[in-house]
Amino acid sequence: MSATTKKRASRFFAVVAAAALCLGIMGLVSGCSSSNEASSASSSAATQNETRTFTDSLGREVELPAQIDRIAPSGHTANQVLLTMAPEKMVSLSQDLTEDQLKYINLPNYADLPITGAAFGSKGDINKEAVAAADPQVIIDTGEVKDGLEEDMDTLQEQLGIPVVFIETKLEDYGAAYEMLGELLGMPERGKELSDYCAAAYKEVTDVMATIPDSERVNLGYFLGDAGLNTIAKDSYQGQVIDLCANNVAVLEKATGSGQGQEVSLEQIALWNPDLIIFAPDSIYDTVADDPAWDGIAAVKSGQVYETPATPYNWLNNPPTVNQVMGMQWLPRLLYPDKFDTSIADVTKSYYKTFYGYDMSDQEVADMTAKALPKNA
């Protein structure tokens, strides 16, 4: 073999060796990449299969996915709470929303969400098939702790084959509810933001009310219905804001939990003779001043008649849930305005920004509270 041939052969084998080396490296890289992808997929699957135990407000230990991205409300109070906490995780709604409500509630996928009804309450019309089809990882119930509630939660969970969690909500400690939701949903910062707001609002109001003797609290009646003859009784779950901020004149032998209140006679209202009346929306606020049947009642004679705002939800009740955080800031400022450094407009803007991420304009606040403030305000 000539020197030239040997040189070419040497170059050829060098090239072949280099190519083989490159192919080997590429194979190694490709193998590593495939291995990494397989490892990532395996890790993702493992995460999806991971579970944890969550203890709810009833002390029930519920096994849940480690990461929760799909939630459903059991009914209307939970519906509202979740709309303030994690609307992006909701896969169903308990009831339809109006255009007025959707103005404030950030729910871009609203049209895709099924309406499933409520599991409990007077109707108890939950559509179990629709809930199951929505495929939530957990169903969340909120509200008042009642006898038999633990059994109700267990039954619903067994019927649907979906974990059910109960979070207690009450006026004096909505903060604890939001902290628990933050833990449940892996959203501790959002939970703390709402918890801190609720705690600060409640403390401010209770500190003010502690300075007002019972004898100086406004005698207030809250009336609902087409004729204004339903009332929310003292010491009822629906009447928490009124009882906190005023002397609720509606002392009844037995208070019910109905958001529609209890029917009473006009004669009974005249005997109570409240100094200030608040009507629920769609009641008789607009006509009561011209109704001779009511003109002997102190509040009507003095013009101390108001209507609670109700967008996206009634500030006082129905549902009796976190909308009451707005109500408990509005009502004492209406009744005792000199006791507060901030106005109703101030707290309205703050509440809607914090709970719904909505920046209210001065005009929007004025429109919303037009019937909820003194006419000369």
- Predicted confidence at residue 375, as pLDDT, reads 81
More confidently predicted of 124 and 117: 117
Under DSSP, the state recorded for 70 is -
Considering the domain architecture, whether residues 106 and 253 belong to the same structural domain is answered as no
Phi first, then psi: give them for residue 155, nearest 5 degrees. -65, -45
Is 260 part of a structural domain of the chain?
Answer: yes
Average pLDDT in the chain: 88
Percent of the chain with pLDDT over 70: 86
Considering the domain architecture, whether residues 230 and 142 belong to the same structural domain is answered as no
Asked which of 111, 137, 168 is the last residue of a domain, the reply is 168
Shortest CA distance to 119 belongs to which of 184, 164, 169? 164
Say if CB 355 and CB 84 are below 8 A apart.
yes
Q: pLDDT-derived band of residue 163, with 50, 70 and 90 as boundaries?
A: very high
Considering the domain architecture, whether residues 154 and 257 belong to the same structural domain is answered as no
Digit-coded pLDDT (tens) for 130-162 = 999 999 999 999 998 989 999 999 999 999 999
Considering the domain architecture, whether residues 281 and 362 belong to the same structural domain is answered as yes
Shortest CA distance to 109 belongs to which of 77, 70, 146? 70
Per the listing, tokens 């059910």 go with 164
Per the listing, tokens 């909701």 go with 90
Is 156 part of a structural domain of the chain?
Answer: yes
Q: Flag whether pLDDT at 18 surpasses 60.
A: no
pTM of the model: 0.85
Considering the domain architecture, whether residues 322 and 258 belong to the same structural domain is answered as yes
Is 40 part of a structural domain of the chain?
Answer: no
**Maximum separation of any 2 CA atoms in the chain, in Å:** 129
Is 145 part of a structural domain of the chain?
Answer: yes
| Domain ranges, residue 248 | 213-368
Number of structural domains, the chain? 2
